[in-house]
Structure 1
Amino acid sequence: MSAERHTLTRLRAWPLLAGLLLASGLALLFGIAVGSTGLTLAWQDLDDMQRQILWEIRLPRSTGAWLAGALLGLSGAITQGLFRNPLADPYLLGSAAGARLGVALSLSLLGTTPAGMQWLQRLGLTGAAFLGTLMGVSLALAMARGLEHTLRLLLAGVVVGVVLGAVTDLVTLADPDILRTMQAFVLGTTSFLGWPAITLMALVLMLSLAVALGASEALDALTLGEATAQSLGVRLGLVRLVLIIAFALATGTAVAQTGMIAFVGLVAPHLVRNLCHGSHRQLLLLSACAGGLLLLAADILSRWLLAPQELPVGVITAILGGGYLLRLMHKRKQVRSA
């Protein structure tokens, strides 16, 4: 890329970043105002109960939704860059299937006895989901026998996802009492986000983003092919290991706090690439902001559409994300046939 073109992409990227941050701030204010009773605009005339709902329920929920979406958007950008596949998503290496199995096992084995309930309260479903995510990614890496072959990693992730999904279904069939809780986890929810979860997600986001930005030049080199990247001095094994750890940590944290929310990690990098063609350093930052905005907007819609009832936020993201991808495919088909 020439210096002039690089300057042009920077001029396009930073205004887009500012726009996403501004839209996120406005969406956060709107998220604080939207509740089961509709819009709350006159914040100065609230009683103590309403203020508590505003600052202890709506604010952490909206902030947590943005952070979880940012983690998924960042993970999607890392995954698509690492595997050079625009259809790769953060759940690729068995992370989502492992998280689902971890929750199912914890509910089935620990949730039926008093002692088990004590352990479950200490570990928490979020801890079980995070451990399950690490287990799924570790199994995929073990099956791939290392990090040298990208295709082998992809196939191992698909196999691990299918196998762990089947085991989860068996656990659910053996213990039908956990089905309702499992359904809430699979559909995704932001209802239980609090300040401790926000602190954790913010720390993980900063750590994962720092690691990804540090490896952004290696991701740029990978777009030219693995052989070319190696000739440029990129240590592919180390880069893959570091980036897999980064997106597994980000994905596991988001899934542990909000459940399996679909399409955010897949659609956010697509949106960014359609709006701005830049380096991976820009793509990573923009994808995180776009993912946060997408999930926050979906959370607001889930509360607002059928108020006082709520729709699962994962259903909203699936409808919006699936509709966007179908429109994109149809548009590309029209361009090819023209």
Structure 2
Amino acid sequence: MQLNKMSPEEKQKQKQNMMVMITLGLLIAIAFVTSMNTGFIRLSPLDTLRTLFGGGTAKEELILFDFRLPRIVISILIGAGLAVSGCVMQGMSRNALADPGILGINAGAGLVVLMFVAFYPSTGAAPVFMLPVLAWIGAGLTAALIFSLSYKRHRGLMPTRLLLTGVAVAAGISAATIVLTLRISPDKYQFVATWMAGSIWGTNWKFVLALLPFIAILLPFVFYKARTMNVLNLGETTATGLGARVSREQIILLAAAVGLAGSCVAVSGGIGFVGLIGPHVARRLVGPKHQALLPASALVGSLMVIVADMLGRLILQPSEIPAGIIVAIIGAPYFLYLLARSRA
């Protein structure tokens, strides 16, 4: 039996992609270590290393293990989840501007989470583990509305209609969110305002455990579907001719993308543009094939969020700038750049 061999160009491209992945992984590792040393109370690298191996003081262990490490882990998880979700949506809709934040899916997830936080009296363990599920419900209902309004029977998903519908739905949900904030107590209003700005508010290990199952299940599943996404990108007619069940695969991949975005929003607040920028940067680094594009998007998204959160804690000490604002400072101009290119 003769095996198919890769061409020299394919081998070279595979090596280049592997080097890109390794480089991104090293950058995340550097950001991870730097973030452990960053904060209002500084820990030197030596203090951090000593504390990691059980030799730190009670105060140092509290700072590192109870405050910083959960926040860093959550930043990595939500960066990967949001970026891969955006990559799937861009591939599904064949729209370079598709993103769970711009399309209003994040807003739908956030509205349900805020309703729960605003009206649920307890802050015990059970509500924490319910948040990703509630966010998935809100994101799913929003996505179903947007995609049903953007889908035509004989034309499939219409990219321009999808973007405009998403923006309109997001505006409506934002208005409902503002009305909600007017009816809650002042102390909860402060939390809602911070959450809407994109603050990583779930900063303990319970939130990590609540988010981890969604990321651990959905990310490998989406990676497994990389070849299917390559086929779907050829267009519905060609994909059908190649034997793909287009409608079924679109629904499955959309559900996975919504699950990733919704669960991340439950603990990260309204962080936008990660799902937009991450896939675009990854595409420039490794090309359009999803076997490399999806994991590269996850790595770029994780790097973006962990660096944004670190800068937010560093710039205006002892105050913090929400990570969503740092990402938006970069993302808004990049979105305008993409919008200008799409008109060209």
TM-score of the pair, normalised by structure 1: 0.85
Work out the CA distance in 1 between the residues paired with 2:149 and 2:185: 31
Report the equivalent of 1:274. 284
Corresponding residue SS for 1:34: coil
Q: 1:80 to 1:42 in 2, by over 3 A?
A: same
Identity of aligned residues (%): 30
1:150 and 2:157 aligned: yes
Report the equivalent of 1:10. 14
Deviates more, 1:120-129 or 1:81-90: 120-129
Q: 1:119 to 1:139 in 2, by over 3 A?
A: farther
Work out the CA distance in 1 between the residues paired with 2:255 and 2:195: 23
Work out the CA distance in 2 between the residues paired with 1:83 and 1:142: 13
Work out the CA distance in 2 between the residues paired with 1:119 and 1:57: 18
Residue 318 of structure 1: CA displacement?
0.6
Deviates more, 1:48-57 or 1:97-106: 97-106
Pick from 68, 72, 81: which aligns with 2:78? 68
Q: Contact 2:199/2:324 (CA < 8 Å) preserved in 1?
A: yes
Q: Contact 2:74/2:208 (CA < 8 Å) preserved in 1?
A: yes
Work out the CA distance in 2 between the residues paired with 1:292 and 1:237: 30
Task: Give the total of aligned pairs.
Answer: 326
Q: 1:25 to 1:238 in 2, by over 3 A?
A: same
Q: 1:136 to 1:65 in 2, by over 3 A?
A: same
Q: 1:234 to 1:154 in 2, by over 3 A?
A: farther
RMSD over aligned Cα atoms: 2.9
Corresponding residue SS for 1:85: coil
Deviations 1:207-236 (A, max 9, x none): 222221222122212332221111111111
Report the equivalent of 1:25. 29
Deviations 1:284-335 (A, max 9, x none): 00000110011001111011111222111111111122344567788x79xx
Work out the CA distance in 1 between the residues paired with 2:284 and 2:36: 30
Deviations 1:61-118 (A, max 9, x none): 111111110111111111111111111112355322212321343355x2xxxxx414
Q: Which amino acid is the alignment partner of residue 27 of structure 2? A: A
Q: Contact 1:130/1:255 (CA < 8 Å) preserved in 2?
A: no
1:140 and 2:140 aligned: no
1:169 and 2:178 aligned: yes
Q: 1:171 to 1:48 in 2, by over 3 A?
A: closer
Q: 1:121 to 1:24 in 2, by over 3 A?
A: closer
Report the equivalent of 1:113. none
TM-score of the pair, normalised by structure 2: 0.84
Q: Contact 2:97/2:339 (CA < 8 Å) preserved in 1?
A: no
Pick from 102, 121, 127: which aligns with 1:123? 127
Work out the CA distance in 1 between the residues paired with 2:147 and 2:174: 17
Pick from 46, 52, 72: which aligns with 1:42? 46
Q: 1:63 to 1:94 in 2, by over 3 A?
A: same
Report the equivalent of 2:3. none
Structure 1 unpaired stretches of 5+:
111-115
Deviations 1:141-185 (A, max 9, x none): 555679982126555544433332332233334447453222111
Pick from 246, 250, 256: which aligns with 1:236? 246
Q: Contact 1:93/1:136 (CA < 8 Å) preserved in 2?
A: no
Deviations 1:16-62 (A, max 9, x none): 01111111111111111111123532313742111221122111111
Report the equivalent of 2:323. 313
Deviations 1:187-208 (A, max 9, x none): 1122432223223433322322
Work out the CA distance in 1 between the residues paired with 2:157 and 2:45: 51
Corresponding residue SS for 2:272: coil
- Higher helix content, 1 or 2: 1
Q: How does 1:81-230 map to 2 (within 5 A)?
A: 81-91=91-101, 93-108=103-118, 110=119, 116-118=120-122, 122-124=126-128, 126-127=131-132, 128-141=134-147, 143=149, 149-151=156-158, 156-175=165-184, 177=186, 178-230=188-240
Q: 1:62 to 1:107 in 2, by over 3 A?
A: closer
Q: 1:289 to 1:131 in 2, by over 3 A?
A: same
Q: Which amino acid is the alignment partner of residue 297 of structure 1? A: V
Q: Contact 1:144/1:156 (CA < 8 Å) preserved in 2?
A: yes
Q: Which amino acid is the alignment partner of residue 28 of structure 2? A: S
